[in-house]
Amino acid sequence: MPNCLTLKKSNCKNCYKCIRHCPVKAIRFSGNQAHIIGNECILCGQCFVVCPQNAKEIVDETEKVKVLLQGDEPVIVSLAPSFIANYDGVGINSMRRALRKLGFYNVEETAVGATIVKSEYERMLREDNRDVIISSCCHSINLLIQKHHPAALPYLADILSPMQAHCRDIKQRFPNAKTVFIGPCVAKKDEAEYYKGIVDAVLTFEQLTEWLKAENIELEQEMDSDVCSRARFFPTVGGVLKTMVQDVPGYTYLALDGVENCIAALKDIEAGRIHKCFIEMSACVGSCAGGPVMEKYHNSSTVKEYMAISNYAGEKDFEVSQPDACDLRKHFDVIEQQALMPSETEIASVLRQMGKFKPSQELNCGSCGYNTCREKAIAICQGKAEISMCLPFLKDRAESFSDAIVKNTPNGLIVLNEQLEVQQINDSARKIMNIRSASDVLGDQVIRILDPKIFLEVLKTGNAVRNERVYLAEYKRYVEQTVVYDRDSRHLIGIMRDITDEESEREKKESISRQTIDVADKVVDKQMRIVQEIASLLGETAAETKIALTKLKESITDE
C-alpha cells in the first residue's frame, strides 16, 4: 500500500464504492476489506474522496514538519497556486503572515517553479524535435504511464514538476533550507518521498487548516499580492498551455483532465495515432483546483475555482533564474505489475462459478466496481476480487435458495402488499385454492380468492394471528392459518396448513364415538328395564350393574 494513503479497517463497510471509482482498479478485497494495491495505485485520491465511511486517510506529516521547525535550518513553504481557490479571499501575503506565526521562515508560491517548468517545455518543443510530449507536472499521470502504459513513457516530459523545480530553486538560494509543499494533492506526498532531497515534507490544505485552527490562527481576508503571474493558472485545466508561447510550427497543443480521458489518449499514442502534439494531462477533473482534498472538503466547483484563480493571476511571468536543461532532468522508470494475466480457461472457469455460462448472461452491471463481468473474473483470478462481490450472482443465489424453500414447503404461502394485492403465491397455496397458475392471481386483490378480514386486522393492528382454524367453504377445505406483517418489507405474509384430512378424521372419530354412545345408552336402558323386573331377586346387584354400565358410557364419551 502507498505510504501516503492508509486504511481504517474498522470503517470499511464493504460497499465497493472505492473500486467503482478507481480508474485503474488498484484495489483488492480480502476478508470483506478493501486494500490498496501499491504497485498499481496512481494516487489520484478518488477512493479517499468517495469513501462514505472515511476509511481512507491521507498520512499527516504535520508532526514531521513541527520537528523541522524546531531545528536550526530555515523552513520555507512552497504553496500550491490553488490555495486561492481553497481559501476564499486570502492572498499570498495573508498566507505568509499566518504561516510565519506557525514558525515558517517564509512562504513562496509554487507558481515560481511552474514558470521554470513552462520555459523548459517551450525549449523542448523548439529544440528537441520530439514527436509527442506529455506534461509531467501531475505525479498521478506520471504513475499512470509508469505502471499502466509504459509504452508511452518515452513521450513523458523528463523534467521536474513545478513543486520540485521550486523547492530545488529555494535550496539553491538558501542552501541549508528545508522545504515543505502545501497543496490539494495526495500524489505529491509520494513524489516527495520517492525523489529524495528536494521536498522534505508535504501537507494538504486540510492538514494546514487543522493546524491553524489548533493554534487559533485566523487567515486575514486580504487579496494583496507582491506580483501577479500567469503561472498561477497552472492548477486549472489548460493552465500550463495558458502560460506557454504556442508558436512551434506543426504542433497541436491539447489539455486533458480526468484519468479516463488521459487513458484514452495514451492508448491512441501507443497505437501510433497521435503525432506532433503537446498534451497537458491532469488526473483530476478540473486539474489541481479539483484535487482530492479540495473535492472532499471544499465542495469543489470547477467554474468558481477557475474564476478565483483567474482573478488572482496576472499577465506576466515571475522573474526567475532559469536553470540549465540538464539540471531539470528527471528519470522515470517502468513500474512492473505483479498480477499476471490469467488464461482463457481460468477466466471461463471463474465466469461459470459466477453463473455466467454464455455472453448473454454477462450483465456488466458494474455493481462490483468492474466495467465488465470478464474484468471481474480476471480480478478474481488475480486475487483482487471475490465472487461474492457480484450483486446479480448473490441475488440469484439468494432467490434460488428462498424459492427452493417456498416451492417445496408443504404449507401454502401467500404474500400481499399493503394494498392487499397478491405479490407471491406458492404451489401449495394454489393447490389449496384450486388456482391453475400463479399469474392468474398475481397483482390482483386477495378478496378474489380469500376473505380479506384477517389480513385487514393484522395490517391495522400490526399483531400477528397464529394457528387460527378456518373453513374455506368455497374450496371445501379446512386450514390452520397464520398471518404476520413484516414492517421492513411492508408485506403481509399468510401461511396456510391444510388440515382437511385431519378434520375429516376427527369428524369420523366423533361419529364413531356418537354411535358407540347411542349403543351404550340402549344397552343401559334395556338393562335397567330388566333390572327393574328382577330387582326383588337381585337386590344390590342391580345397582352395581347400573354403575358399571354408566362408567362404560362415560368412558366411551370421553374417548
pLDDT, tens digit (0-9, with 9 covering 90-100), for 191-209: 999 999 999 999 999 999 9
**Mean pLDDT of all residues in 199-221:** 95
| C-alpha span between 5 and 189 (Å, rounded) | 9
Do residue 210 and residue 64 come from a single domain? yes
* Distant-in-sequence, close-in-space partners of 305: CB < 8 Å, separation ≥ 6: 82, 85, 236, 286, 289, 290, 294
Do residue 303 and residue 394 come from a single domain? no
Strands (E), 426-556: 465-472, 477-486, 491-498
Measured from the Cβ of residue 186, the count of other Cβ atoms closer than 10 Å reads 29
Q: Is 115 left (phi over 0), alpha (psi -120 to 50) or beta?
A: alpha
Q: Does a structural domain hold residue 10?
A: no
| C-alpha span between 55 and 472 (Å, rounded) | 57
Residues 98, 77 contacting (CB under 8 angstroms) = no
Do residue 354 and residue 473 come from a single domain? no
pLDDT digits (tens, 9 = 90+) for 18-70: 888 899 999 888 777 888 888 899 999 999 988 888 888 899 999 999 999 99
| C-alpha span between 147 and 145 (Å, rounded) | 6
Do residue 523 and residue 494 come from a single domain? no
- Give the residue among 388, 7, 366 at the shortest CA–CA distance from 380: 388
Residues 169, 199 contacting (CB under 8 angstroms) = no
Q: How many domains is the chain built from?
A: 4
Do residue 164 and residue 255 come from a single domain? yes
Burial class (CB in 10 A: 0-12, 13-18, 19+), 254: middle
**More confidently predicted of 387 and 4:** 4
| C-alpha span between 55 and 229 (Å, rounded) | 39
Q: How far is CA 135 from CA 147, 159, 213, 234, 322, in A?
A: 17, 9, 36, 12, 18
Q: How far is CA 537 from CA 531, 546, 549, in A?
A: 9, 16, 19
**Mean pLDDT of all residues in 254-264:** 96
Residues 480, 468 contacting (CB under 8 angstroms) = yes
Do residue 347 and residue 248 come from a single domain? no
Amino acid at 339: A
pLDDT of residue 1: 40
Q: Is the dihedral of CA 341, 260, 186, 277 positive or negative?
A: positive
Do residue 114 and residue 209 come from a single domain? yes
Q: Is the dihedral of CA 148, 150, 156, 159 positive or negative?
A: positive
Do residue 316 and residue 352 come from a single domain? no
* Cα separation of the two ends of the chain: 79
Q: How confident is the model at residue 379 (pLDDT cuts 50, 70, 90)?
A: confident
Most confident of 161-165, 372-376, 399-403: 161-165
* Distant-in-sequence, close-in-space partners of 477: CB < 8 Å, separation ≥ 6: 432, 471, 498, 500
Residue with cell 524546531: 70
Question: Model pTM greater than 0.75?
Answer: no
Q: How far is CA 479 from CA 55, 159, 262, 414, in A?
A: 54, 84, 68, 13
Do residue 80 and residue 110 come from a single domain? yes
Which of the listed residues 401, 419, 442 is the one where a domain comes to its end?
Answer: 401
In this predicted structure, the answer to whether residue 265 has a pLDDT above a threshold of 80 is yes
**Mean pLDDT of all residues in 391-420:** 76
Do residue 290 and residue 188 come from a single domain? yes
Mean pLDDT for the chain overall: 87
Helix H or strand E segment including 55 = none
Residue with cell 473535492: 295
pLDDT of residue 396: 64
**Mean pLDDT of all residues in 84-99:** 93
**Mean pLDDT of all residues in 487-499:** 90
In this predicted structure, the answer to whether residue 238 has a pLDDT above a threshold of 70 is yes
Q: Does a structural domain hold residue 424?
A: yes
Helix H or strand E segment including 35 = strand 33-36
**Mean pLDDT of all residues in 128-146:** 96
Which of the listed residues 498, 528, 546 is the one where a domain comes to its end?
Answer: 498
Do residue 101 and residue 222 come from a single domain? yes
Which of the listed residues 475, 498, 521 is the one where a domain comes to its end?
Answer: 498
In this predicted structure, the answer to whether residue 147 has a pLDDT above a threshold of 50 is yes
pLDDT digits (tens, 9 = 90+) for 437-471: 888 899 999 999 999 999 999 999 999 999 999 99
pLDDT of residue 367: 72
Provide the residue range defining the domain that includes 523. 511-558
Do residue 429 and residue 538 come from a single domain? no
Percent of the residues in the chain that have a pLDDT greater than 90, as a whole number = 53
Measured from the Cβ of residue 147, the count of other Cβ atoms closer than 10 Å reads 20
- Output phi, psi for 116, to 5 deg: -65, -45
